[in-house]
Amino acid sequence: MIPIFDGHNDALTREGSEDLARRSERGHLDLPRMREGGMRGGIFAIFTPSDGEPSRQVSFGASGSYAEPLAEPVAQEVAAAHAVRIADRLLDLERRGEVVVARSIADVDSARREGAPPVAVMHLEGAEAIDGELKLLDTWYKRGLRSLGPVWSRANVFAHGVPFRFPSSPDVGPGLTERGFALVAACAERGIVVDLSHLNEAGFWDVARLEPGPLVASHSGAHALCPASRNLTDRQLDAIGTSGGLVGIVFATPFLRPDFADDPNTPLRLIAEHARYVADRIGVAHVALGSDFDGATIPGSLAGVTGLPLLVAALRRAGFEPAEIEAICWGNWRRILAAWWR
């Protein structure tokens, strides 16, 4: 079975995810099901919901035009307390030998050894848990933080985020704040991946101009195939390719479909079609996987992480060669993490 590294999941913040070492029928991902599906590593998001948001998963309703305002901001002290609690779930799994929390590229490589535990990259989805003066960034780094999205789809002291809209350009507001520029520079200095997936277009170009490292959108799709605000335009894709970065192709059905429908009957081949589009535009070296497991509706035929071999077969049917599939499933993420963590 081909080993898979997935660039984004929300399993840590899913309801009932207090112990991912136990097999569950809830949600898309736990460690036993990861083993069944061949997923040997991934980026595990820590996300604090806005007030009144019952769960991490977003529901977009029927197909057609859609516009949702930015979610309500979250206070730093609230986000910090919540994020520490969620991070402790991951660190407890590490203490028990169930996972390795990746702090170096050697940790990522270790997950491919026979019988080794899977590797988990700690990620903050929205940097509200970090204060505006960045005093807590080193504390989080010592805890294992190696990836960070400055915003989710709401404003904070670092940036403004991108609302969920369809059809819509990602050019929907201002970019990084002064503190956001400082955060990106500090992450580059320490070797913390800066994830662009929830930044609007202005924020994307702000980060690109800083040249902190290869540009990374961990869980996004191609705007040309689905004109949603969260997807990447051809110009953004070109910049990612030029920087040596990558796009983790999202599995969330609204961002795959040309009609934005939140429909589990979405064909699995649409994931492969987005991968094919990005590969044809900027090269296979810049294509990876970024499921958004436990954060969105995915194609029902996938049935969560256990269905990843079906996705590999869909990539094969889309014309990808075995070496290209290996790169999409593992090698491209490995290269990017090594470049950022240097």
pLDDT over 50 at 56, yes or no: no
Q: Look up tokens 């207090």; give the residue.
A: 18
pLDDT over 70 at 54, yes or no: no
CB-neighbour burial class of residue 212 (10 A; exposed 0-12, middle 13-18, buried 19+): buried
DSSP letter for 232, please.
B
Q: Which residues contact 206 (CB under 8 A, 6 or more apart)?
A: 175, 176, 180, 181, 184
Q: Quote the number of domains for the chain.
A: 1
Please, are residues 148 and 189 in contact by the beta-carbon 8 Å criterion? no
Which CA distances in Å does 40 have to 147, 279, 329? 18, 23, 10
Please, are residues 188 and 213 in contact by the beta-carbon 8 Å criterion? yes
Q: Could you tell me where the beta strands, DSSP code E, fall in the chain? A: 4-9, 39-46, 66-67, 100-101, 119-125, 145-149, 165-166, 193-194, 216-220, 246-249, 287-289
User: 42: which 2 tokens?
Assistant: 């991934």
The torsion region of residue 249 among left (phi > 0), alpha (psi -120 to 50) and beta comes to beta
Task: Quickly count: other Cβ atoms within 10 Å of residue 131's Cβ.
Answer: 15
What integer is the mean pLDDT of 120-137?
98
> Whole domain around residue 50: which residue ranges?
4-341
pLDDT band at 65 (very low <50, low <70, confident <90, very high): confident
Model pLDDT, residue 55: 45
> pLDDT digits over 139-172, tens only?
999 999 999 999 999 999 999 999 999 999 999 9
CA terminus-to-terminus distance, the chain: 29
Q: For residues 8 and 22, what is the distance between their CA atoms, to the nearest angstrom?
A: 20
> pLDDT digits over 208-250, tens only?
999 999 999 999 999 999 999 999 999 999 999 999 999 999 9
Q: Which residues contact 151 (CB under 8 A, 6 or more apart)?
A: 126, 127, 158, 159, 160, 161, 198, 199, 203
Domain CATH code at residue 246: 3.20.20.140
Which residue from 250, 249, 268, 270 is spatially nearest to 258, judged by alpha carbons?
270
Residue type, 280: D
Residue type, 125: E
Which CA distances in Å does 95 have to 100, 116, 145, 244? 9, 14, 16, 35
CB-neighbour burial class of residue 172 (10 A; exposed 0-12, middle 13-18, buried 19+): middle
Q: For residues 134 and 118, what is the distance between their CA atoms, to the nearest angstrom?
A: 30
> pLDDT digits over 292-341, tens only?
999 999 999 999 999 999 999 999 999 999 999 999 999 999 999 999 99
pLDDT band at 61 (very low <50, low <70, confident <90, very high): low
pLDDT over 70 at 52, yes or no: no
> pLDDT digits over 277-296, tens only?
999 999 999 999 999 999 99
